[in-house]
Structure formats: structure tokens, C-alpha cells
Structure 1
Amino acid sequence: MRTGTIGRGLGLATALAALITGLCMAPATAVRAAPEPAPAVAAAPAAFTHPGVLVSRPQLDFVRAKVQAGAQPWKSAYDQMMASKYASLTRTAKPRAVVECGSYSNPNYGCTDEREDAIAAYTLSLAWYITQDSRYAAKAVEIMDAWSAVIKDHTNSNAPLQTGWAGSSWPRAAEIIKYTYSGWPNAGRFATMLRDVYLPKVINGSNSNGNWELSMTEAAIGISVFLEDRTSYDRAVTKFRGRVPAYIYLTSDGALPKAAPGSGLDTRDKIIKYWQGQSTFMDGLSQETCRDLTHTGYGISAVSHIAETGRIQGQDLYPEIADRLRHALGLHAKYQLGEAVPSSLCGGSLKDNLGPVTEVGFNALHNRMGIAMTNTQTLTQQRRPAGTDNLFVAWETLTHADNPN
């Protein structure tokens, strides 16, 4: 328990009495807030790896070789991507100076357009690298230039989340184009857009539902890599380390889930309310499981994406979160595969669908780290090729299925 400094004029007996009184008066339901996690050493690399947001050059080379060889599941995943609207060479970007997004994108003034243009830029950058057809790179540049010339702000209640979603996709595209294609004279203007319009909205996180802060943190880390901003990168990793244990529960946490630093969740009642009224906790339960599986999938996906980018940048975050991530994937995959939901879990009913979010985490934990993940493996393979959620997840069977790099 942290206590204040005892003044020089206060005797030892008085100090002890004051301490005992304070302990006795503390409310019985109080929960000690988690301290702000601080890495022992800086997280940012001495030199950033490019391209290095979610996908690296060795990963891209692996994918290109598999597609060219017609190997599965990569060829079918590639065909799916190329048949999508996001790979169209006739796409016209729809930038806005101010993107206004209310709750659940209502109102929707540019929200869908921005997210989908960002996914399109990423899709086209993948198409460019795999085909080496410069038309795809040029179209990605056209879309990124259109937005960097116009956008000034995001407003209304969903502005932080919207910025996080679009801000997660933009740097993936920008990294591939800047470091594998020579025709982007406005790359500096795009960097200014990320620095001035996106980063300030996401770098401080959010005390809303966990998928918000995780998506915002994913954007902050990706943007920091593109900008080579070590200070922001370190801040984002610290935020990640505080949020993941507060989003995915393990029995080793104790009777209650952990609270994120600064959340103000300092009583049992507050924590249970925040966890959607769930009072029975089990390995892999997410803070949003009893809300719906769609939002849970957003959170799990962002956790995987952040850890993947960290690994590419030379700081492997997977060992820190592997136990939580494997249990989260496994628990939700089990019920997505049809196992009956017990009454102790969300009243015996789970809503919606997890989405195309398992490939990155499964590849990292199962294929690279050798962790057995039977349910996650079954679900992942059944749902291949994984497509896009039209928000910030896209083509992860193509980029990460059995990718050893």
C-alpha cells in the first residue's frame, strides 16, 4: 500500500496509529488499483524495421512465393482479396476535412469512407508487393495522398475509436509503399497527417470498453513505427502492458479481474459492472465477452496485431501475453464451434460472431511458440480464407497463415 511521507514532527507511535486507523477505515469492497506498468528498458528499437507494421518484408516474401506457386491456403486467400472491392484499380477515394462519427457511427459523416479507403490502401499495397504491378502501388498512393491533402480532424463520440481503426490500417499500407516502391513524393505529407491528426487522438488511450483502447494503441504503435517516434512507441507499449491484463482474465489474477491503470475501477461492484455484469471468471474471459463476440474479437485482434508489430521491431511481446491470448482464443473458439454455453457464462448465451481475427495470434502462439491450441486451430482452418471485417482487420490468412517469419 502506498502511503504519503511522514512529517518530521510526527512521532513514530503517532505515525503507526494513523496508519492503523487508515487501514481500518478503508472500505471493505475496495480494490487496489493496478500501478501504471513501466518497462524496465525502453521498448522502442534502436533502429526501426521497415516495412514493419503487422507484416515484415520476410513475411511478404513468403506470401508472394506461396501465391506464385499456387499453394493453399494462400492462393485462395489472394484470389479472395483481389476479387474484393478494396483491390479495385478504379476506386475513387472519398476524403473529408472532418470525419464525424457518433455512437455506432451514427451520424456517419465519412466514417465508413475513411475506414474503407484505409483498408483499400493496405489491400492495394499487398497486391503491389505480391504482383509487382506498379498500378496497385500507384492507386494506394493516390488514396493516401487524397486523405493527407484534406483531413484535419475526427469529431463526435466515436472519434477516438474511428481514429484507432483507420489509424491501424494507414501505417500498414504506408510502410509497404514507402519502403518497397519508389513513387511516393508526398510520403512526408502523409507522415504529417498521421502525426498531427491521428496520433494525438489515440496516444493517451481510453477508459471506455477495452476494444477501444486496444485499437487506439494498435494505431499508436503502427504510427510510431512509420514516424520512427520512439517516445510515442514506448508510451503505447506501456499502455498495452496495462490494458491486456485488464482485458483478458486468468485465474492467477485472483478473485477479480485486474483494473487498467487510471480506470477508477476500485471496487468489486464497479469491476463486475464493467465486465458486463459477469461475476464468474474463467481463463480467457474477456471484458467484453458478455457484451458480444464481435467487440471481443476487435480486442483480441488488436492484442495480436500489437504483439506482431512488436516482434517485427525486435521486442517480442508475445511471451508476456501468450497465456492470456491463448486462453482467450481457445475459450471463444470453443463456443464458436458449437459447444453449449454454461449458465455461469453470460447467462448461458453468447451474442454475435468472433470475426476473422484468429490467424495472427494462432500463427504466433501455435506455429512459432509450439503451444497446443486445438479449438483455435479447428476454427481458424474451418474459416479460411479469413477476409475483412471492413473496419481494421483484413486478409490475415494471406499474410499470416503458417508464416514462419
Structure 2
Amino acid sequence: MNGLFRPALIALTIALIGIPTANAVEPPDDRPAAALAFSHPGVLVNKAQLDVTRSRVLAGAQPQKAAYDAMRASGSASLSYTPKPRAVVECGSNSNPNYGCSDERNDAIAAYTHALLWYINRDTRHATKAIQIMDAWSAVLTDHTNSNAPLQTGWAGASFSRTAELIKHTYTGTWTQRGRFENLLRNVYLPEIRNGAGCKNGNWELIMMDAAIGIAVVLDDRAAFDKAIGIWRGRLPGYVYQTTDGAWPKAPSTCPSKDTRAEIIDYWQGQSTFSDGLSQETCRDFGHTGWGLTAATHVAETAWHQGVDLYAEARERLSDGFYFHARLETGTPTPSNLCGGTVKKGLGAVTEVAYNHFHNRLGMSMPTTLRYTESKRPAGANYFYAWETLTHAGNPG
């Protein structure tokens, strides 16, 4: 027998008869995604992160203690908080008309706030309040309408999915109407967002996928989970540019009609020169860009907790996206070839989750992003993200 084949034959024989070798290494789990169970709680935060958050707050450690105090002082944390549900939430462009839009977003953030408070201080009144808010909406809501319906559904659905996940998997008390709320997520929220946003500005689709992946985990819906990841993978290269993409950015997978340089430049707010980290909405304003970047990170964080490493696929794209905008927010002059030499700042407190992953998990040096992150601590709550200094500062899980 050729000596080159003997080691392989020996190894195969050992594997077949089950004899362990001294240097045996467990093979990677190559089962299809559909065969793998979801990890709970696992929407944006997992149990390890929740336990670290709780222990640091109870010990008075910073920055968690200051973040917790800010959360407790917010109106969202009041035990007298009263939800304002309605059967149909109608939201036009810029939430005009605003028939329940602000109320739904605020209620969803309040519910998440109370779920976090419950986990940290073990006061069951907060769990009861989170359930009360969810039950109020599941009792009446039937639809989202008008032009902003998909985005509105994403905003509220992201916070509501985090709330449901925490209560469902950490609270041992009674939630009689849990099935009704899950049906609300399944039948009212998910159909509005699951197919993406087409050629809308990219923050829409990324926020929608933030909600969609969270809802998928709550419902243990592997098909919805995989679909959200697929749309994320098709959108992110169409939202944050890398020079490896070519001479100009790619079109999002849900917007294939933008297939010429002129159409891409128009879609990218008139920007005609491209560099690593530039966003499709940079020249619109940094506020919407921050929404898109943090929503993209939320999807990656939830996927991470479920064993799917989207961060690895988008390491440079995401880290460059945050660096590109954080450096301009922290004093770097705007180049003359960027947005005509003027940008509209206001990125927001959107960097905690990304910094936690890339620096605290992977060890990447990100001094500019750190400086910006620290300047926004403790991060508060806005539209669809809340209290991320509390849950993610220095907390890899």
C-alpha cells in the first residue's frame, strides 16, 4: 500500500470504530441551519450578558450603574405607564399623519424597559407592566397603514420582539395572553416587513430586518430567520461601500433595477466618489445613517447569539462604516469631495453593540469609535434602540 494513504486509512478506521485519538478535535457542526435549535433568550442580548449587566448594576459598577439609573429615571420606566393601543396604526411620510405611530414606538420601548428592569431588580411589577403593554396591543392591533407602515412596523417590532423574548424566557410568572401576542407578531408585524423595502433608503430595510430576525427567534421560525439574514446579506453591501465592491457601490438585492453608475450615484444622494465606510445615506444625514448602521449591527448581534457569524462576513464593512462617521463626528474636517464639503451630523448613540463585538470580543483597536461611544454614554432610547450602554458596554457575553 502506498504510504501516503496509510495515515488516512488509519484515521478512517479509528473514526468508524469509535476509538478516540489523543489529538481528536470535535468537527464543526455542519448541519443545515433548519436543524439547529434557537438559543433563548437570544434577541440582541443573551443570558450571559443579562447576568453580567445585573451583577454590575447591583455592584454599582460603571458604566452600567449610571445607565441603569438613567433608565429608571425615564418616563418609560414608570410603573404607572399607560399604553395607548389602537386597531390601525396609520403613519405617513415623516409620521404625518401620526395616528398611533409615536404611541406604538413609545409603548414598545417602555415594554422593553420594564422587561430589563424586571431582569435586573427582580421586581415582578415590571414584568407585569411589560406584559400589560404587550397585551394591550395584542388585544386590538390589526394593521399598519400608509406609506411609512413598513418602517413603523420595524421600529415597534424590534422593541416588542426583545420584550417578548425576555419575558417568555426569563419570567416564570403568568402570561396568559402570550399566544395572542405571538400571533400578533406572526400575523400583523412579520408580513409587513419580511420581504424587505425594495429601493427605499437602506435604513428602512435594515430596521425591518432587525425586527424580522427578532420576531423569528421569538417564534422559533427558522424560515423567517433565514429570510431576514438573506435580505441583510443582500442589503449591507448596498448600504456601506468597500473598495473591493468595484468602482461604485453595489445595488441592494431587493433593488436590482439600479444597475448603472448614474442610478447608483443618484441613490447615494448624489455622491460620486466612494471610499471605505461611506454609507448610502451619508450625504442625506448622519441620523438616518446611524439608524441603518445600528440596525445592521442588531441583526448581526442576534444572529451571533444564534450561532450565525454575520459579523465575520461584514467585519471591515461594519467597522469601517462606524469609523468613517465617528471620525467626522469627533472633529475630522469634512473632505471637499464628500457631500459637497458639508455633512449633517448627529449619528446618535448607536455604537455600543458594534464596539462591544469588534473590540471586546475580537480585540480590534477602535480608538475613534471608543471616543465617540464614551461621549454618548449612557446611551438612552430612541425609536427602536434602547439602553445599550447598560446591556453591551464591555459585555461580550
Common fold: TM-score over 0.5? yes
Aligned to 1:187: 178
1:336 and 2:316 are equivalent in the alignment: no
Aligned to 1:212: 204
CA deviation string 1:132-188 (max 9, x = no partner): 000000000000000000000000000000001101110100111111112211111
Among candidates 147, 160, 173, match of residue 170 of structure 1:
160
Cα shift at 1:254: 1.1
Query: Matches of 2:294 and 2:141 in 1, distance apart?
Result: 27
Number of equivalences: 365
Cα shift at 1:404: 2.3
Query: Matches of 1:42 and 1:354 in 2, distance apart?
Result: 38
Closer, same or farther: CA 55–273 of 1 in aligned 2, 3 Å: same
Among candidates 326, 330, 345, match of residue 319 of structure 2:
326
User: For residue 355 of structure 2, what is the amino acid of its counterpart?
Assistant: F
Aligned to 2:148: 158
Aligned to 2:187: 196
Aligned to 1:367: 360
**What secondary structure is seen at the aligned counterpart in 2 of 1:302?**
helix
Aligned to 1:80: 70
CA deviation string 1:18-41 (max 9, x = no partner): xxxxxxxxxxxxxxxxxxxxxx98
Among candidates 325, 337, 343, match of residue 350 of structure 1:
343
Aligned to 1:400: 392
CA deviation string 1:51-82 (max 9, x = no partner): 11001111100000000000000000000000
Query: Matches of 1:44 and 1:296 in 2, distance apart?
Result: 33
Closer, same or farther: CA 341–45 of 1 in aligned 2, 3 Å: farther
Moved over 2 A (4+): 40-45
Aligned to 2:281: 288
Root-mean-square deviation (CA, aligned residues, Å) is: 1.1
Cα shift at 1:260: 1.0
Where in structure 2 are the equivalents of 1:30-69 lying within 5 Å? 42-43=32-33, 46-69=36-59
Judge conservation of contact 1:356–1:393 (CA < 8 Å) in 2: no
Among candidates 221, 226, 238, match of residue 234 of structure 1:
226
Query: Matches of 2:34 and 2:70 in 1, distance apart?
Result: 35
Judge conservation of contact 2:231–2:254 (CA < 8 Å) in 1: no
Where in structure 2 are the equivalents of 1:14-25 lying within 5 Å? none
User: For residue 73 of structure 1, what is the amino acid of its counterpart?
Assistant: P
Closer, same or farther: CA 103–254 of 1 in aligned 2, 3 Å: same
**What secondary structure is seen at the aligned counterpart in 2 of 1:370?**
coil
TM, length-normalised to structure 2 = 0.91
Judge conservation of contact 1:45–1:314 (CA < 8 Å) in 2: no
**What secondary structure is seen at the aligned counterpart in 1 of 2:89?**
strand
Where in structure 2 are the equivalents of 1:114-129 lying within 5 Å? 114-129=104-119
Aligned to 1:19: none
**What secondary structure is seen at the aligned counterpart in 2 of 1:100?**
strand
Q: Percent identity?
A: 60
TM, length-normalised to structure 1 = 0.89
1:381 and 2:371 are equivalent in the alignment: no
User: For residue 321 of structure 2, what is the amino acid of its counterpart?
Assistant: A
User: For residue 174 of structure 2, what is the amino acid of its counterpart?
Assistant: G
Judge conservation of contact 1:43–1:233 (CA < 8 Å) in 2: no
Aligned to 2:290: 297
Judge conservation of contact 2:329–2:345 (CA < 8 Å) in 1: no
1:309 and 2:306 are equivalent in the alignment: no
Aligned to 2:16: none
